[in-house]
Structure 1
Amino acid sequence: MPTLGFLKKKRTKDSSGSDFTPTSPVSNTAGLGSALSPQLSKSSNLFAEPETTFTNDSAQSSATSPPASSGGTKAVAAPTSNNNNTSMNAQATGQLQGQDANAKTQNVPSIHNLIHPPNYGSSQHTDSGYGSSTDGNGSAPALNLPQQRGNANPSRETKGKYTLTDFQISRTLGTGSFGRVHLVQSKHNQRYYAVKVLKKAQVVKMKQVEHTNDERRMLQRCRHPFLITLWGTWQDSKNLYMVMDFIEGGELFSLLRKSQRFPNPVAKFYAAEVTLALDYLHSMNIIYRDLKPENLLLDRHGHLKITDFGFAKEVPDITWTLCGTPDYLAPEVVSSKGYNKSVDWWSLGILIFEMLAGFTPFWDSGSPLKIYENILKGRVKYPPYIHPDAQDLLSKLITADLTKRLGNLHGGSRDVMTHAWFAEVTWERLSKKDIDAPYVPPVRGGVGDASLFDKYPEETEAYGQGGSDEHGKLFPDF
């Protein structure tokens, strides 16, 4: 088995942990139902296909405000191992009808590269930038797209903005390799947030200093309706603290496993929101690098929030770091080649496939090595129930040929948005959450309802202890 330093989030068959945290709505009620219900939302023109229609009775726009005076939290997922169990719908079992993707890969399918990855530098600084970006905003079909670009974001001060005394810790929402996420209540505005606590010693031991600092920097820069918000950070002698939104609806992963697979319009809704978020991140030269259902949270109205920015990094051109989740890695990452933002579009293809099929296209008995071999072979078998338009989009996203991968061409993200599968999507309305979600989580909004999160043993070591701080200098932005 290869030693894959940053692949700390392997999906394993029996794993149930999740280290992310959601966004806190303000008052109001939440929708009912715990399964996708076959009803049509009148206000949503996204679900125009007659074979499957789904409901939405959610009020839109969940405003999140920072904790007054000293507290506001934003929830991000901590690294954990998540479930890669592929529970297929009974109709799909054994019915895979193959259509091999002609992936004329530019990557040499050498497993030797996985076991002995090239040494591009020190163990902590493996990211470098060379060459020029292939992402362009050239002449593409005109779209009525939201003008939300990173350079329009005002600078937000988050360093040392809060302290432990600003919050009442309620319970643990998730645990990870070197920390956990807590549900907390601000003592100032009484609202609920999520605080991610990372143990400095563990972060250093696992060589995640650079990624942890990157996560904080990326979150500080981002403000988008489908991205988690970071309100503030601080540190003490032992721990790092990140205050984020509390998102009550849990992760998309749980809903997908319950539903086995999503109908075409439902998968399209979630994929469209992710597409808008990726378009925003890429406009700021940020690669996300860890797209998967476990990192997609549902707010109380059923809209997505991308969380866990542990692998996000500002990369204007190319980088080399081997990181991510095995099932979602692009072939250029697996073969230790330099890669750019296009790896996120590959991952979007894997995500859409998993939502439509209930399993990932290269999954193989949960063995990372076999998954990597399958990725490098590039053969995809599409179940017969996947819509032809969806299959066409997937074939153009899950391709090793970077000269053909949508999102990496002259039109950039617009090539993805103008694809036939997204034809019904009104992007401007969706960006304003003016389209009802297909599923509204059964939670009570604004009261710290964490019923959709698993229970975990609570932390026994008290936070806020004094003493020497040998690692504090490694995290100057906290």
Structure 2
Amino acid sequence: MLMMGGNQSRGAPVLDEEVSFDHFQILRAIGKGSFGKVCIVQKRDSMKMYAMKYMNKQKCIERDEVRNVLRELQVMQRLEHPFLVNLWFSFQDEEDLFMVVDLLLGGDLRFHLQQNVRFKEQTIQLYICELALALDYLQRSHIIHRDIKPDNILLDEHGHVHITDFNVATVLKDSETASSMAGTKPYMAPEVFRSFVDGGVGYSYAVDWWALGVTAYELLHGSRPFEIRSSTAAAEALHIIHRQHLRFSSVCSRATLDLIRSLLSRDPSSRPSRLSDVQASPYLTDVDWDAVLQKSVPPGFVPHKGRLNCDPTFELEEMILESRPLHKKKKRLAKSRDKRSTPLPMHMQSSLDSLTEDFIAFNREKMKQRLVSDSPDVQLMTAANKHHDGQNNNNNNIILTTGSSSELH
């Protein structure tokens, strides 16, 4: 593995101080978006591996993405689920905003589709179940993801799915609906286009279940059910959805096709849009949902462990083409602090100041540590130990075994 950072050093867990860039060892670049990049990092104290997404502040402002970035942070800080890519830390420096999340080395489903992987029906069944559990959790948290697609579904090393990228997610209160056209057009539900074209009544959580149907269809057939592209106008996309006949493969069971067909119902009121609706499908009657949630059902497709399941050119670009490479950040910032930098235009400086002030730092490690220390069982053990020490004059240490994240909630 190509090392992009300095020497590794291990110390005490960073709990009482703010987490910063210096607490991570940069290992390699694995992806990039329009204004953000992703690399593999290792936390120096715990030696745990994570994925770190970093976004240049000025580019966020220039591309009017600040609101989306802050909203994504706000959403991710309140979520934790076995089938999501969970946020662990967020912090900032003069140049960038950082989000440190679960590291999933199995690649995204788009990558595997491009590698001509043919997913078996049983594998797709498990994906639908795992994603349905994640969407149900989001719905109970009043969140619409709005961009469910193969690109935003990552596999862990065992082949389980995890939803990522909450950049266009939105939070609904009570019975309100959303109205803006957000997401990726080939995966948008008809009511999203309708809301944009004629005002409509807005849309709700059912749009994510439509996108699940499109994704399942694509995994099954290797192509999407509707010929809609990013350049397709909203009115035309709506026309295509309502006029184009769905064609299904004859190699799959009738129950599978019926489930996907129901997820692709044009009428959101008749579309499965909650976990109980999907569980009622004849296709899934034999599913042990508790076992699925515990990840005890083995996936039919396991990503290749001997290679990086992403485009290797990301790393070359970071090392060769990037004018401000991440692994040279510490020296670069030290130099810029020593020098008098050229003042930024007033509007840019004002926007940067606002972004710096509005950004919320986050440390899930610290949050979990507090949950454990505030637990009545832990307090009782501590009190008992103190009492025991007082009687016997011993300095016995209490060993606390913390459970998994699901056990803490």
* TM-score (norm: length of structure 2): 0.72
Tell me the residue number matched to 1:296: 153
1:237 aligned partner, one-letter code:
E
Q: Deviations over 1:20-58 (max 9, x none)?
A: xxxxxxxxxxxxxxxxxxxxxxxxxxxxxxxxxxxxxxx
Shift of 1:287: 0.6
Q: Which amino acid aligns with 1:435?
A: V
Higher RCO structure (Cα 8 Å, ≥6 apart): 1
In the alignment, which residue of structure 2 is the partner of 1:285? 142
Q: Deviations over 1:175-198 (max 9, x none)?
A: 111110111121112222111001
Instruction: Give how far 1:435 is off.
Output: 0.8
What whole-Å deviation, never above 9, does each CA across 1:365-384 have from its counterpart, x for those lacking one?
77534655412536422233
Matches of 2:329 and 2:95, distance apart in 1:
8
Question: Which residue among 454, 475, 478 is the counterpart of 2:312?
Answer: 454
Distance across 1 between alignment mates of 2:164 and 2:228: 26
Moved more, 464-473 or 214-223: 464-473
Q: Deviations over 1:78-115 (max 9, x none)?
A: xxxxxxxxxxxxxxxxxxxxxxxxxxxxxxxxxxxxxx
Task: From the superposition, tell whether residues 266 and 451 of structure 1 become closer, same or farther in structure 2 (CA, over 3 Å).
Answer: closer
Could you say which residue in structure 2 is the equivalent of 1:431?
293
Deviation at 1:391, TM superposition (A): 2.0
Q: For 1:476 and 1:428, how far apart are their aligned partners in 2?
A: 37
Q: Is the 1:161–1:233 Cα contact (8 Å) retained in structure 2? A: no
- Specify which of 380, 383, 395 is matched with residue 261 of structure 2: 395
Residue matched to 2:370 = none
SS at match of 1:241: strand
Tell me what 1:265 maps to.
122
RMSD of the alignment, in Å? 2.4
Q: Is the 8 A contact 2:259 2:281 kept in 1?
A: yes
1:172-321 pair list within 5 angstroms: 172-316=29-173, 317-321=176-180
Gaps of 5+ in 1: 1-66, 72-156
Aligned partners of 1:193 and 1:243 also within 8 Å: yes
Query: Which residues of 2 match residues 9-88 of structure 1 at below 5 A?
Result: 69-70=13-14
Quote the residue 2:391 is aligned against. none
Per-residue deviation, residues 61-93 of structure 1 (Å, max 9, x unmatched) = xxxxxx96349xxxxxxxxxxxxxxxxxxxxxx
Q: In structure 1, what is the equivalent of residue 248 of structure 2?
A: 382
Write the letter of the residue equivalent to 1:196. Answer: K
Contact 1:276 1:431 in 2 (8 A): yes
The percent identity for this pair of structures is 32
Q: How does 1:355-370 map to 2 (within 5 A)?
A: 355-364=219-228, 367-369=231-233
Name which of structure 1's ranges 284-293 and 365-374 shifts more when overlaid on structure 2. 365-374
| Partners of 2:54 and 2:124 in 1: CA distance | 32
Instruction: Look up the equivalent residue of 2:313 and give its one-letter code.
Output: K
Q: Which amino acid aligns with 1:455?
A: T
Q: Do the aligned partners of 2:185 and 2:229 also contact (CA within 8 Å) in 1? A: no
By how many angstroms is 1:283 displaced? 0.6
What's the secondary structure of 2:304's corresponding residue?
coil
- When residues 221 and 343 of structure 1 are mapped into structure 2, their CA distance, relative to the original with a 3 A threshold, is same
In 2, the alpha carbon distance for the partners of 1:383 and 1:301 equals 28
Paired residue type of 2:26 = I
For structure 2, list consecutive stretches of 5 or more residues without a partner in the other structure: 1-10, 362-409
Q: Which amino acid aligns with 1:460?
A: S
Contact 1:168 1:185 survives alignment (8 Å): yes
- The structural deviation recorded for 1:460 is 2.8
Amino acid at match of 2:219: M
Q: Deviation string for 1:381-411 (max 9, x for gaps)?
A: 223334211221222221221221111xxxx
Counting only pairs closer than 5 Å after superposition, residues 80-229 of structure 1 correspond to structure 2 as: 161-229=18-86
Tell me which of 163, 188, 195 is aligned to 1:329: 188
Shift in CA distance, 366/472, structure 1 to aligned 2, threshold 3 Å: closer
Q: Which has the larger radius of gyration?
A: 2
Deviation at 1:171, TM superposition (A): 1.7
Verify: 1:414 aligned to 2:276, yes or no: yes
Equivalents in 2 of 1:375, 1:454: separation in Å? 36
Tell me if structure 1 keeps the 8 A contact 2:186–2:228. no
